[in-house]
Amino acid sequence: MSAVHERPNRDYRFSHVGRGADYDRSLAESVWARFMSVREARLVTRTIWRLFPRGVPRYLDFACGTGRITSIVGPLAQESYGLDISETMILRARQKCPSTTFIVADATRERLEIAPVDLVTAFRFFGNAQQELRREALAAIWTLLRPGGYLIMNNHKNAGSVRCTLRRLRGETLTQTLDYKGTVEILKDAGFKVIRSYGVGFWLFRAAWVRGGFLDSRLGDVLDSVSLVKGIARFCPDIVFLAQKP
């Protein structure tokens, strides 16, 4: 398996090359990123315990970056793998998750020499990637999953959120291109069955509300419980999807 050389490119697959420590720092400094991370961790952990009460036999974190999600799910798995195109991001991930096997490769262009896994996670990828790469990534994940295996992924830039809708009505041009319906469509086109979706941050449609003390408060937790109401996810800025390979 050949390592992928890090080089800049407009293609999103190369957007994080050469990054590592600065990526973790940028997430830590963002109040909104911390808010999403905490709630994503809770959703992922609860979902995995429901699906795999005895632990995940084999697990892969797709586009794992510096191991944020890997560090949450890895301890719940008997075997865990992390995959990313960036060597510097993987270097940070290895420090956090010494028991995980990390692979530097592009699964959309290379065949990985690992047996099919029972669970794949993919976070902070699909909301950023261009449409062609989204489809290529889902095709690669389909190959990596065993029949009956699960995919837990998110769209942290939901173009259909209340916040985005209000900004467009004000005449703003947004970079978000993927909404709830579009995410469901590309999953189904790739052969996946969408089982459930969970929302994060439905009520955060005013910039003034995205404040550290407020988001990190008990009140922020209570308010965000609304995001988990059935049908609300499509209007949330961050959506976590549970899908299955039939």
Grouped pLDDT means (10 residues each) for the chain, 246 residues: 39 63 79 90 97 98 97 98 96 96 96 96 96 97 98 97 91 92 98 97 75 70 87 96 98
**CATH code of 180's domain:** 3.40.50.150
- Are 23 and 89 contacting, i.e. CB atoms less than 8 angstroms apart? yes
Question: pLDDT at position 3, please?
Answer: 35
Q: How far apart are CA 217 and CA 108, in angstroms?
A: 41
Residue 10 has what pLDDT? 65
Does residue 135 lie in a domain region? yes
Find the domain containing 190 and state its range. 12-244
Token match 């075997």: residue?
79
Instruction: Identify whether 53 is part of a domain.
Output: yes
Residue 4 lies in a domain: no
Domain assignment present for residue 17? The answer is yes
| Under 8 Å between Cβ of 210 and 32 | yes
Q: Is residue 26 part of a domain?
A: yes
Domain count, the chain: 1
Q: Which of 75, 79, 65, 78 is nearest to 37 (CA)?
A: 65
Q: How are strands ordered across the β-sheet holding 238-244?
A: 101-104, 77-84, 56-62, 117-122, 145-155, 238-244, 193-200
In a domain, 2, yes or no: no
**Using one digit for the tens of pLDDT, what is the confidence trace for 121-173?**
999 999 999 999 999 999 999 999 999 999 999 999 999 999 899 989 999 99
